[in-house]
Amino acid sequence: MNEIIKTSLLITRSSSGIGEAFAQVFSEQGFDAVMKGKCIIINGRLNNFFAILSKLIPKNLTRSIAKYLMKRSY
């Protein structure tokens, strides 16, 4: 538990500006999740929606979408 607190403090102190606010929020959410015994936390409603959607749609469709996005990014 002490390492988690030290890490979150290190992140918030090393950040500056708006990144500091995000680091503070994420470290608090992560700490709360660990204290509740959760192994995985997905931040944000949109990210959570896509995580659930990826489990519901067929794997072939998921792969083709990922393949399209990977080609598009280059």
> How is residue 23 written in tokens?
């680091």
Q: How many domains does the chain have?
A: 2
In a domain, 59, yes or no: yes
Same domain, 28 and 49: no
pLDDT of residue 18: 59
pTM: 0.48
Q: What confidence score (pLDDT) does residue 12 get?
A: 46
Q: Which tens digit of pLDDT belongs to each residue from 11-43?
A: 544 445 556 677 788 888 888 888 999 888 888
Q: In which region does residue 17 sit, left (phi positive, over 0), alpha (psi from -120 to 50) or beta (all else)? A: left
- 74 belongs to a structural domain: yes
Residue 69 belongs to domain spanning: 45-74
| Residue whose structure tokens are 């403090």 | 9
Whether 31 and 54 share a structural domain: no
In a domain, 40, yes or no: no
Q: How far is 51 from 42, CA to CA, in rounded Å? A: 8
11 within some domain:
yes
